[in-house]
Each structure stands twice: as structure tokens, then as C-alpha cells.
Structure 1
Amino acid sequence: MHLLSHNAEHKLDVLHQFIRANSLGVVTTAIRCPPFPLLQASHIPWVIDIVEEDVGSLYGRLRGHMARQNPQAKSIIEYVSQFGSDSNEIWLPEDVLVMFNGLMHHYITPKFHKETKPNTGKVVPTWDYDAVQVYGKARVYIDMQSDTAIMGYESSDKPETRAWKVSDAPARYIDLLTKNLIGIEIKITCMDGRIS
């Protein structure tokens, strides 16, 4: 992401809060697994966890899930199945990128540059937006039966999502849904943002 000094944000508490407020992120993977495209991206709602005891991850971790029918999930499943591991959780070899965008964005016309335009004329139109980018190592949970907590439902700090718990739905229904999901947990290794 192109960051200028006047709108670059590096404070972790600000970046964490931005992700909590704008939790729908686009996860991008680069997985070499023909016939699937190398680069794929999907919108996923994420939960960010900041674990004080986790010395290895100053930035925290993201938790989410995607449907097995999603082409990106299919490529992940196909890729990890090549290794014949019996493990429920497998680390992807390449970093992943998750982009979080703010709700507002807009065009900025040069006419708003009231001082610069009349004096020098050196102004151009631009676009104003807020975004945070996160890089990290992804651990994929292929068998979601074993851990519904990875999906992010049980520990949300958003008031509108606290009213529902996985245990509120019938067990057979949850069992059916989790068979059709893969979990993704990302150990964040780098994050920064652009906040206007």
C-alpha cells in the first residue's frame, strides 16, 4: 500500500481498533496449485485477538473461516492434501495479505486546495480513503468439527454479535455447517495503515 508520511498509521492500538470497526477483510493468497489461479482473494469477516502472553506475535492474530465451495478454499484444500498430512491444521508456506477498508471514501477535487492552487497551481485530484493491510502466516483448519472457536463466533467484542453463541443453534445444524467450512488463523507478522 502506498503510504505517505502525513497519513501513515503505525500505532498498533489504532490499527487493531480499525480492524475491529471494519472487520470484513479481503484475504489474498498465492498458492501454486493448478488448475486454480495462483492469486485468489475472498471477503471474510475476521476477529482479531491480541494475546499479551504471545511473545512471538506483537501484532496479534486474525481468525475467520470460508466455505469449502469457495474456489480459494478449494485451492487451499487441494494444496494441503498433496502433503498427505493427518494433522487438522496446516501452515501455508507463503505469507497471506488481508486488506481492511474503511466505510467512507471519496474523491477530492483540486478546488479544495485553497492555498496551494492559487499560489502554485501544483494540485491534482486525489482519492481519500482509510485502509489497513496485514501480512502474516496462515494456519488452515481443514476439519472444522474439532474447533468451532477458530471461526471467531465465541469471542467477538462487537455488541451486535454478542447476542448469539454457537450453542444457540441446534447441534445438528452447526455440525452440518462446520462440515462445509475451513478455518483460517493468521499470525500477524506486519501491519500498517493509511488513515486520513
Structure 2
Amino acid sequence: MYLPDLFHEQDFETVAGLIDAHPLGALTHIVNGAIVADHLPFLFDAEANVLRAHVARANPLWRDFDSASEALAIFTGLDHYVTPSWYATKRETGKVVPTWNYEAVHVYGRLRAIEDANWIRALLRDLTARHESPRPAPWALEDAPDDFIDAMSKAVIGIELSITRIEAKRKLSQNRNAADRAGVIAGLEAEGGESAERMAKAMAALDTKA
């Protein structure tokens, strides 16, 4: 992706946090010369430098991907429209245009399919724990009959992306002056709503970090 230095996020903990907070990735890969995309919830194993997921056995992805080509998993974080009306520069010169602030992580790597029952069971347990743990009464694989989980596990195939490179972008008005950035944050806060409020907090945190 187009990645100007101002928007290039290189802090590993921040990038890992973006993937963890927005784990549903669009996995793009090549099948018979054509681009195919699947949307999968991933787990990022930073120590092993891999992304892990699973697909239905009926999904041709695990049989048809081109192992000689890189695959790409795309994760989208916060995003929000930015009106030029929020800029101090609008009142000063009028030379402003609309834009869109957003976060994105592109993870490249080589795919492999995994049919090992123990690997799949461990992945399902880890995925479940990741998303159930914040709940007051977390559901676990052990809450369902073992033979049922065995049957469900046999209906899926593990997918692992061995990471070759990561590109991360956080376009949060870093290209605007301090007054314009303050205007965007104030505008987002006044607009309200979860999307606007989360973007305002991310921009404010970036300013504090700087």
C-alpha cells in the first residue's frame, strides 16, 4: 500500500495491538492466476511469527492456494471521515479538502494447510479463549459434548501464514498542523458516536506520545 513516512507505523507493540483488536482479516491469495479473498478471524503468534486461522473443509482455499506466491492478510482498524470544516486552516485560507483517517495492517507470508487434529483443537481452544475471556461467564470448548467438538473439528482445516513482512499504516492527520489536528479532535468529540470518539482518542494518544 502507499505508505508515506508520516503514516508508517513501525512500533511492533502497536501493530500487534491493532491485529489483536481487529482480528477479522481479509486473506487474499492467488488461485489459478486469479485473486481470491476470504474473511477469517486470526490469532497472531508473535513469537512464532505466524498468523493462525481455520476454514471450513468445504472451502477450497486450503487445497487451491498457490504455495509459490505470497498471500496477504489485511486488517482494518479505526476509520472515520474528516470534514475540512474542522480545520483552523479553513478559516484562515479556505485551502482545505475532505479526507479519511484510518488504520490498516498488511501481513504478507506463505500459506500452509494443517489437518492435524491436535493442532486444530488447540487453535479452536485458543481462539475461543481469546474472545470469550472478557465475558462474565466465558464459554469453553469443554462446555460442549466432546464427540460434538470432535465432529466440528473434523469439519475444519487449519491455516497458517508464515510471515515474511508486515506493513502498517496509521493515517491520523499527522500531516496537519497542531491547530488543524486539535480541530479534528474537537470535531470528532462533538460529533459523538463510538467511531468518532475512538478516533478522537487515538489521535489524542498519538499527540501525547509525540
**TM bucket normalised to smaller:** 0.7 to 0.9
* Amino acid corresponding to residue 125 of structure 2 in structure 1: Y
Give unmatched runs, 5+ long, in structure 1: 55-59, 81-90
Q: Per-residue deviation at 1:26?
A: 0.8
1:48 corresponds to which of 44, 54, 60: 44
Closer/same/farther in 2, CA of residues 149 and 95 from structure 1, 3 Å limit: farther
The Cα RMSD (Å) is 2.6
* Amino acid corresponding to residue 154 of structure 1 in structure 2: D
Report the counterpart of residue 88 of structure 1 in structure 2. none
User: When the two structures are superposed, what TM-score results if normalisation uses the length of structure 2?
Assistant: 0.69
Match of 1:3, SS?
Answer: coil
Report the counterpart of residue 185 of structure 1 in structure 2. 160
Report the counterpart of residue 86 of structure 1 in structure 2. none
Report the counterpart of residue 65 of structure 1 in structure 2. 54
Question: Deviations 1:117-168 (Å, cap 9, x if unpaired)?
Answer: 63372x3211111111110111111x25342246353275553379344333
Q: Per-residue deviation at 1:116?
A: 6.1
Kindly indicate whether the alpha-carbon contact (under 8 Å) linking 2:84 and 2:90 is maintained by their aligned counterparts in 1: no
Distance (Å, rounded) in 2 between the aligned partners of 1:149 and 1:13: 28
Distance (Å, rounded) in 2 between the aligned partners of 1:2 and 1:139: 28
Closer/same/farther in 2, CA of residues 116 and 152 from structure 1, 3 Å limit: farther
Kindly indicate whether the alpha-carbon contact (under 8 Å) linking 2:73 and 2:107 is maintained by their aligned counterparts in 1: yes
Q: Per-residue deviation at 1:18?
A: 1.0
Distance (Å, rounded) in 2 between the aligned partners of 1:26 and 1:14: 20
Match of 1:2, SS?
Answer: coil
Question: Deviations 1:26-61 (Å, cap 9, x if unpaired)?
Answer: 11111217xxxx21111111111122xx5xxxxx21
Q: Per-residue deviation at 1:6?
A: 2.0
Question: Deviations 1:71-93 (Å, cap 9, x if unpaired)?
Answer: xx31432x37xxxxxxxxxx822
Report the counterpart of residue 120 of structure 2 in structure 1. 148
Kindly indicate whether the alpha-carbon contact (under 8 Å) linking 2:62 and 2:157 is maintained by their aligned counterparts in 1: no
Match of 1:147, SS?
Answer: helix
Greater RCO between the two (CA within 8 Å, min separation 6)?
1
1:118 corresponds to which of 85, 88, 92: 92
Report the counterpart of residue 182 of structure 2 in structure 1. none
Asked if 1:130 is matched to 2:103, the reply is yes
Q: Per-residue deviation at 1:64?
A: 0.5
Match of 2:97, SS?
Answer: coil
Question: Deviations 1:73-114 (Å, cap 9, x if unpaired)?
Answer: 31432x37xxxxxxxxxx822111011111x32211222232
User: When the two structures are superposed, what TM-score results if normalisation uses the length of structure 1?
Assistant: 0.73
Distance (Å, rounded) in 2 between the aligned partners of 1:189 and 1:97: 10
**Rg: which structure is higher?**
2
Structure ranking higher in helix proportion? 2
Closer/same/farther in 2, CA of residues 191 and 75 from structure 1, 3 Å limit: closer
**Structure 1 ranges of 4+ moved more than 6 A:** none
* Amino acid corresponding to residue 67 of structure 1 in structure 2: A
